[in-house]
Amino acid sequence: MKLNQNQTPFLDALIKYVNEKISPFDVPGHHLGNAENKFKDFLGGKAFKSDVNAPIGLDSLPHPTGVIKQAQELMADFTGADHSFFLVNGTTSGIIAMIMSVCKAKDKIILPRNVHKSIISALVLSGSIPIYVMPKIDRQLEIANQPTVDDYKRAILRYPSAKAVLVINPTYFGAIADLKEITKFAHAHNVAVLVDEAHGAHYYFSKNGPISAMEADADLASVSFHKTGGSLTQSSVLLLKGERVNPVEVQKSLNIINTTSPSNLLIASIDAARHFAATKGQETMDVVLELSKYAREQIAKIKGFIPRGREHFLQKGCFDYDETKLVIELDHLDLSGFDLYYLLKEKYQIQVELAETYVILGILAIGTKKEHLRHLFSALKEISHQHYNRNIIYPRHSFSVSFPFLLVRPRSAFYAPSKRISILEAANQISKESIMIYPPGIPLIIPGEIFTSDLIERIKTYKETGITMLSDYSDGTVNVIDKENWKRFSSYQKAYLDYSSKRITTPHNDGYMMPFEGDEHQATFILLPFRKDTWRLGAKPARDAYKEVVRAIVKFEPVVVGIHPNIYDAVAGEFSNIENVSVIKVKYNDAWARDNAPIFVKKSWKLRTVDFRFNAWRGDEGGLYTNYYDDDKLASHVSKKMHLDSYYIDDFVLEGGSIHVDGKGTCLVTEACLLSKGRNPHMSKQEIEETLKTNLGVSKVIWIKNGIYQDETSEHVDNMACFVRPGVVALAWTTDRSDPQYKYSHDAYKVLKNETDAEGNPLEIVKIKLPKPMYMNKEEAKGIRGSRSNAKKREPNMRLAASYINYYQGKNFVILPAFGVAEDAVAFEQFKGLYPDKQIIQINTREILLGGGNIHCITMQIPEGRKGELLL
């Protein structure tokens, strides 16, 4: 501590003001206690004389410049913070302010499910989206402890766009998180750490207990100084450390939710409590910890009562335990915890903090005296004598706590129109309230989540077994969104219907993942080219090349060929003599099945599709043609024709060629493509990564900067790098320093060499030599017609994005492009080495290359599904 802590600037100023002979003409109207009332008689005149409203000399809490500022600086110095803010609306105001300061509307915040209701209020006020981690349940005491460090780490990795992680430290019952490790990991991923430290003010008093939020380098902590620090009820402190959060934003948030008439009694009590903590806190807490040890030793001798401390909580997986929480488990008593709570107060004048079914909790703090404990021991002995029966065995409750589907943000749910219905009729309704069960103190549902029949049955069971339910109403009704009278519901309707009728949420939530391309396929899907403004000579040379690819694939698996109505009658018959081929008539704008067909995800043998938006590779920001509406509808059409459930992603543009997965949780992408202005400019890199994880079922995304030079797709990854198999990546390579591709390839190599896959294994990188730069010639360009759809103009000397990486593989085969150049043979030998157990078929695909892609771009694998399932 750098400042002289042996001072109380605000308290001193208040005392000085009270001792002056003031003639008051301001509020409050009792005017220094000159109005008589019974409350004044009870408290005494000095309390009323101290109840003044920010007169000259006592500073302003919303804009402190004088003694409040000095007192807050002393608090910051004492706690190891950079800034402190006094709170007179309780820790609730601090929790709301710190979330509002860090999270704006639609920002994500990671938090444990056993949150205080003030945090739900903060979600409503800020508009942020909760990402829950489940605390560990102590089924013996029937209480919620902490999530593990790994739980927080997984959530941070899964949601890289999250702005903050909130940790409750300690829990009501004293469970401590490894706050230092959580903070270190969160900060390494640019995530702020907010701490609900309501029950941990005394951590700043002593070095012998758990570390404080500020010692753990958390960014913000809301601390109830009134709970264990000695100030008056409702007085708390918000602490800020570091530069991740702007103190001006914190003060602005506080000014929104704090009263403009703060109680100077509360502010003075904070100033005095800090002074006591700084000057006598260590020695006082040493006494409290000794009393805690003494209490457990004595209670352990009384039949029917088991004091639970550090040993118990560490066995239950907690990182540490707060010994000032006196947790007493009931054993063989004909009383519940709730019965004991009331008995202690009504018969023995002993007030404990709270009760659960088989537990009571007492708080030991700086005001605890030994005679208080002796009084408790005496009462427990008498209760034991009267109520202990060794034949009594407590029934244990079974908890099955899961997260309902969050359809609507808590803020939107709060403001939506409402109706009250019987909880028995609430299935598939969207909640407008929280329903909490005690024990273990976890919300079963919060605003914006959907009731299910299973959840309703659980609620009925909990009620029947005597578990306490906390909700807005106690008459068996619940508050839900009135969908029929909510104009905004139309934007949620598709997701609502998917969930309510089919329990479809997201691929990640539902356990689906995009499988590896080299696994077993049911078939391959291909579209035939027909555009005259992309393909030369009416697309006939390109169709011939496509047919060669089809002939190669059908040696190993069926091929479904989609043919546009404009050419169906003319060309469908060309496939009649090719075995293992089926044709369908379907509308599309161009023949790139990799990019406009659905992406298939899999769970065991079950298949679903993911239908991303398609805008012809950048839409109005350089897209390759302007009318792409049939392309955008193709995925939905194919999904329905296959009778597969589909995830419709209405706000995210993605082509299949812009991703490559290993089937084990890893995805390759390029920044040049996914961060391009014409795809998802409203999203950050972290939000895009999160969307990929949600909708592909992957857990890690590896970003390389560029793809192939002048690839008109904005450099799709499937032309640059791909998984040969899990753990092995093939990378397009050149040693020609004069070629711009040289930097692209070498930069990508550096990234991949330093990366690991989703399972933490290093990647093996195989360099695949590129052909020398290739260009469209005059004759080729001459055969391409213009059109009204503003397709990209193809001109002589346009560089072509030729790459051997743009190949297609199945379980037993590889279809490899060739370009009629010397490097073709080199590539063929390389691939024979890469795939010793697969047949390599090389096809000259220059005609496909002229259209802007290659073999991988024109194919989409349909993974193996249920046996005998009809596909198309």
Domain residue limits, the chain = 410-505, 510-863
Ordered alpha helix ranges (H), 558-602: 565-571, 593-596
Q: Which of 103, 673, 722, 857 is catalytic?
A: 857
Taking residues 550-557, report their average pLDDT: 97
| Paired residues of 156 in beta bridges | none
pLDDT of residue 872: 56
pLDDT of residue 442: 75
Angle 747-753-758 (CA atoms, 0-180°, nearest 5)?
Answer: 120
Express as a percent the part of the chain with pLDDT over 90: 81
Taking residues 795-802, report their average pLDDT: 94
What architecture is domain 510-863? 5-stranded Propeller (3.75)
pLDDT of residue 696: 97
Lowest-confidence pick of 38-42, 318-322, 604-608: 38-42
Lowest-confidence pick of 349-353, 436-440, 584-588, 613-617: 436-440
Specify the 3-state DSSP secondary structure of 421: strand
H/E stretch holding 562: strand 559-563
Band (403; pLDDT cuts 50, 70, 90): confident
Taking residues 749-765, report their average pLDDT: 97
Q: What is the pLDDT of residues 40-85, one digit of tens each?
A: 889 888 888 888 886 788 999 999 999 999 999 999 999 999 999 9
Q: Rounded to whole angstroms, how far apart are CA atoms 267 and 85?
A: 10
Whole-model pTM?
A: 0.85
pLDDT of residue 34: 87
Q: What is the mean pLDDT of the chain?
A: 93
Long-range contacts at 823-830 (CB < 8 A, ≥ 24 apart): 823/769, 823/770, 823/771, 823/772, 824/771, 826/769, 827/768, 827/769, 830/766, 830/768, 830/769, 830/804
Taking residues 223-248, report their average pLDDT: 96
Is residue 857 among the annotated active site residues? Answer: yes
Q: What is the pLDDT of residues 451-472, one digit of tens each?
A: 998 888 878 877 776 667 777 7
Would the pLDDT of 868 be above 50?
A: no
Lowest-confidence pick of 13-17, 327-331, 403-407, 702-706: 403-407
Dihedrals φ, ψ of 795, to 5°?
A: -125, 160
Q: What is the pLDDT of residues 347-400, one digit of tens each?
A: 999 999 988 888 999 999 999 999 999 999 999 999 999 999 999 988 776 665
Lowest-confidence pick of 387-396, 436-445, 836-845: 436-445
Residue type, 739: D
Nearest to 275 by CA among 427, 78, 500: 78
Q: 138 is written with which tokens?
A: 């102590």
Taking residues 289-298, report their average pLDDT: 97
Residue type, 150: D
Would the pLDDT of 869 be above 60?
A: no
390 burial via Cβ count (<10 Å: 0-12, 13-18, 19+): exposed
Angle 136-139-141 (CA atoms, 0-180°, nearest 5)?
Answer: 105
Band (443; pLDDT cuts 50, 70, 90): confident
Taking residues 120-134, report their average pLDDT: 93
pLDDT of residue 801: 97
Q: What is the pLDDT of residues 567-577, one digit of tens each?
A: 999 999 999 98
Is 748 within 8 Å of 704 (Cβ atoms)? yes
Q: Rounded to whole angstroms, how far apart are CA atoms 292 and 287?
A: 9
Lowest-confidence pick of 114-128, 361-375, 533-547: 114-128
pLDDT of residue 439: 55
Q: How many CB atoms lie within 10 A of CB 345?
A: 12
Decide yes or no: CATH 3.40.640.10 for domain 410-505.
no
pLDDT of residue 24: 87
For residue 600, how far is the Cα from the chain centroid? Answer: 24
Percent composition of the chain: helix, strand, coil (DSSP 3-state, to 5): 35, 20, 40
Band (870; pLDDT cuts 50, 70, 90): very low
pLDDT of residue 858: 98
Would the pLDDT of 671 be above 60?
A: yes
Nearest to 112 by CA among 442, 448, 450, 471: 442
Q: 821 is written with which tokens?
A: 């150049």
Taking residues 148-155, report their average pLDDT: 93
pLDDT of residue 440: 58
pLDDT of residue 396: 72
Lowest-confidence pick of 36-45, 215-224, 288-297, 433-442: 433-442
pLDDT of residue 416: 96
